[in-house]
Amino acid sequence: MSTATLSSLLDYLYGTLSPTNMRWVGEQLIEHANKYSVDFPPKRYTKEEVNAMLDRAEANFAAGLGIDDEEAWDELDEEIAHEKELEMAEAV
């Protein structure tokens, strides 16, 4: 989201929400951020660390512990379709 868009959204919210509702929105945003937070800045890996991770992944795949990209995309598509079905069911 761009800074201008975020600024416009905040101006709109400040103008339309009561202080109680604004506090609730803030609490929800904090809860969401904490639930889905990632390390920032992201960890930087050395070339050796990346190569070691790739070697482990290739060894796991060779041992039959992984799935190919087509199967991974199929699983992702199924998960997205399932989430959409849940959203549609909740909307009714």
Per-residue pLDDT of the chain (92 residues; tens, 9 = 90+): 678 888 888 888 888 988 899 889 888 888 888 877 776 677 889 999 999 999 999 999 899 888 888 999 999 999 999 999 988 888 77
Domain that holds residue 43: 3-66
- Domain presence at residue 80: no
Instruction: Indicate the residue type of 47.
Output: K
Residue 81 lies in a domain: no
Query: 59-69: buried (b, 16+ CB within 10 Å) or exposed (e) per residue?
Result: eeeeeeeeeee
Contacts of 60 (CB under 8 A, 6+ apart): 66
Q: Is residue 87 part of a domain?
A: no
Length of the chain: 92
Residue 23, CB-side half-sphere exposure with 13 Å CA sphere: 3
Residue 20 lies in a domain: yes
Q: Is the residue at 82 inside a domain?
A: no
In this prediction, residue 40 carries a pLDDT of: 66
pTM: 0.38
Q: How many domains does the chain have?
A: 1
